[in-house]
Amino acid sequence: MEKVAALILAAGQGKRMKSGLLKVLHPIAGRPMVGYILEATRTAGISRMVVVIGHQAEKVQEVLGSEVEYVRQKEQLGTGHAVLAAEGVIQEDLVLVLYGDTPLLDAATLRAILQRHQESGAAATVVTTELADPTGYGRILRNQRGGIEGIVEEKNAGEAERQIREVNTGIVCYRRLPLFQALGKVKRDEFSGEYYLTDVVPLLLQAGYKVETFLVQDQSLVLGINTRVELARVEKIVRQRHLERLMLDGVTVVDPASTFVDSQVEVGMDTTLYPFTFLEGNTRIGAGCRIGPAARIVDSVLGNEVVIEQSTIEKSHLSDGVHVGPFSHLRADCFLEKGVKVGNFAEIKNTLVRSGTKIPHHSYLGDSTIGSRVNVGAGTVIVNYDGQSKHHSEIGEGAFIGCNSNLISPVRIGDGSYVAAGSTITEDVPEGALAIARGRQVNKEGWVARSRHRAPEK
């Protein structure tokens, strides 16, 4: 079996994106677009992946990490120049040239390309597709026998050549020695100053080598991205495919057109996703959950039978049977144990909430530990920030916190204790005690009639 190296070109800036971010790092369904081609390559069984980097090289390395190798293209002088930059590091028999902006290309297609190339014995196998509108693509030129004889870029194509619908995708599998021999003979384009990889094909044919083509029937697989418009089109396809996989695995998606699930998100069987739900990042959702409508969950883990209504969950862990919302916000580092209920307009941050506790509505709990079976009254605020530092508070098991209470951190509310409504607690409350910290009510009889500031009659 011949050894294969995948060479992924990711050095170009992508000027048509009109962005300060390198094109191949633009996210599609929560993942940089170059990540999709790396996954497909890995799944196809190609273990050696070399990425050609140039613009924002350090950022690409930071995103992709150490699972791939890198070659730096110091000057961006075209695709041929990019491949030539890797000559010294690639020793494998076959070189599969790929692009970081083709995220829909899958492992099955890559395996088929390699198989065709190896069976044909060709020096190069050019991957093509047919487009109803081939504008902007290089056209495949064929001889009378149907064999490929060259690739003509659109700017150099005549009127008859512009009518050709078969186009070059840029993806090619080469035998190493003929590839680099031909690249050494490629001349710099007099107009652009670049070295084009497409010029290798006629050079191989002139040297007597065999060149084959591989036609991809599903043109969406080889769609490249150059603009934000194309980015949106591809993202729609990626999301739709992922939703279809989820539905086939037993997830109900009420309206796929208004449901947005990142490609790495996992969702359990019999969970229902309602419209305008966003599941992002490394989120995992269990079975039998109800999510939405209008919910956003980011990098979080949800157990089974969790209900999230019109709320935002970020970097948190919710155990089985938790109910959140509507209109609540769980910020980073929350852990809600089994059966916790969070009602409407509550905000929780960096807090452990033990099983069976209820936080019905209009409360803020930050940097705290809440025991099991606690009732948190409406308007309760854990005042965790003194202007310089955050402080931690604890509420013991079975405690009752009355409405409109302020707990000034750091403070501990003992097991089974009560805090009277409207209290501002600055000291620990012992187990089983009632804490009252508010001004005594005073009624001034006849005050309204005597007051110079009496309210005007209606």
Dist. CA 390–CA 229, nearest whole Å: 45
The catalytic residue among 81, 317, 329, 361 is 361
Q: At what angle do helices 107-120 and 33-43 cross, to 10 degrees?
A: 50
Distances (CA, A) of 443 to 437, 440, 448, 457: 19, 10, 11, 22
Dist. CA 457–CA 148, nearest whole Å: 95
**CA–centroid distance for 49 within its chain:** 22
Q: Exposed/middle/buried for 208, CB within 10 Å: 0-12, 13-18, 19+? A: exposed
The answer to whether residues 69 and 10 touch, using CB atoms and an 8 Å cutoff, is: no
Sign of the CA dihedral with 431 first, then 432, 433, and 437 last: positive
DSSP 137-202: SPEEEE-TTS-EEEEE-GGG--HHHHT--EEEEEEEEEEHHHHHHHHTTPPPPTTT----GGGHHH
Dist. CA 88–CA 281, nearest whole Å: 37
Known catalytic residue at 81: no
Residue type at position 178: P
| Both structure tokens of 214 | 């591989």
Residues with active-site annotation: 361
